[in-house]
């Protein structure tokens, strides 16, 4: 799919940046005039992907999290969340509902929510190198909604 | 304060507000743990009307409180759940564990 526009933000793996990342993604997607539900779905999925990077990628240190936002042809928003942290040894297992290596504060539902709220979720990871999560969501255009 | 609680005759009501994400969940859990531990309520009603955003961290908050109430032999329900939070909680099947209004 043709890339129409792109914006990238890089931030440290501090939990306060979870809301920053959600807002940045929502602002970027807003030009497509999404419904409130669509915007909330994107914000929720971004929150999960970014929280995963913040909680799991850099367990004992601060690291960089990169979020690349793209507008693709056909009213599709693509969000890539990438880190250069510890990586995931078994991606399939990590995507299983209720599975978590986190403490009691985590529910293990992050990937399930990303998959439910976005049209597609692709995860690439290599132990010691990092993880990249790419999610896409088509937004109903204003024209479609008027019909 | 993201959590306010009131307790009358062992019926506790807790009001959550603001964004319930990983950043805020720890404090919310801490307050709920402490308040439940002190009051030992027979029922807990978690009012989410003031929640502007919730992600899977909110699921962990709800499940933790539900487990705690289970240990006490009490009941728990969720009320005034905003649409976005409802979508997140239902994805996790929370509505199968407790009433969600």
pLDDT tens digits for range A8-28: 999 999 999 999 999 999 999
User: Which residues of chain B neighbour A112 with C-beta distances below 8 Å?
Assistant: 56, 91-92
Average pLDDT estimate for A94-120 = 88
Q: Closest-CA residue in chain B for A23?
A: B53
Class level of CATH domain B3-96: alpha beta
Could you give the number of structural domains in chain A? 1
| Residue A68's CATH number | 3.30.565.10
For A94, the domain range is 3-146
pLDDT score for A142: 66
**Residue B46 φ then ψ, to 5°:** -100, 115
Do residues B46 and B17 lie in contact, with contact meaning Cβ atoms separated by under 8 Å?
Answer: no
- pLDDT value, residue A103: 75
What Å distances lie between residue A144 and A32, A137, A147, B8, B86, CA to CA? 12, 16, 5, 51, 26
**Residues A52, A96, B59, A27: what is their CA dihedral angle, to the nearest 10 degrees?**
50
- Amino acid A146: pLDDT: 61
Instruction: For residues A71-78, give the mean pLDDT.
Output: 97
- Catalytic residue from among A18, A52, A70, A82: A52
Higher-confidence residue: A100 or B11? B11
Q: Chain A: residue nearest B20 by CA?
A: A19
> Residue A1 — very low, low, confident or very high, per pLDDT cuts 50/70/90?
confident
Which ipTM value was assigned to this complex?
0.93
Which residues is B20 bridged to in the sheet?
A: B54
Least CB–CB distance from A105: residue in B19, B26, B55: B26
Q: Residue A5 pLDDT more than 90?
A: yes
Locate A63 and state its tokens: 């690291």
The residue-averaged pLDDT of A43-69 equals: 96
């Amino acid at each position: 799919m043709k890339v129409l526009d792109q914006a990238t933000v890089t931030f440290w793996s501090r939990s306060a940046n979870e809301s920053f990342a959600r807002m940045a993604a929502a602002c970027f997607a807003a030009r497509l005039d999404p419904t409130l539900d669509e915007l909330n779905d994107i914000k929720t999925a971004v929150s999960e992907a970014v929280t995963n990077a913040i909680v799991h990628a850099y367990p004992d240190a601060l690291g960089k999290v990169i979020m690349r936002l793209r507008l693709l042809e056909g009213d599709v928003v693509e969000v890539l969340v990438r880190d250069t942290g510890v990586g995931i040894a078994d991606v399939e297992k990590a995507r299983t509902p209720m599975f978590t290596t986190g403490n009691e504060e985590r529910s293990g539902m992050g990937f399930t929510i990303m998959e439910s709220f976005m049209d597609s979720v692709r995860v690439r990871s290599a132990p010691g190198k990092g993880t990249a999560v790419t999610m896409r969501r088509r937004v109903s255009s204003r024209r479609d909604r008027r019909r | 304060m993201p959590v306010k609680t009131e307790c009358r005759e062992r019926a506790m009501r807790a009001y959550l507000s603001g964004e319930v994400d990983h950043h805020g969940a720890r404090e919310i859990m801490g307050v709920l743990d402490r308040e439940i531990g002190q009051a030992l309520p027979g029922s807990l009603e978690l009012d989410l009307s003031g929640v502007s955003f919730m992600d899977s961290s909110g699921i962990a908050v709800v499940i933790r409180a539900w487990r705690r109430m289970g240990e006490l032999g009490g009941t728990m329900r969720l009320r005034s759940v905003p649409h976005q939070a409802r979508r997140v909680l239902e994805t996790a099947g929370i509505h199968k564990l407790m009433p969600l209004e």
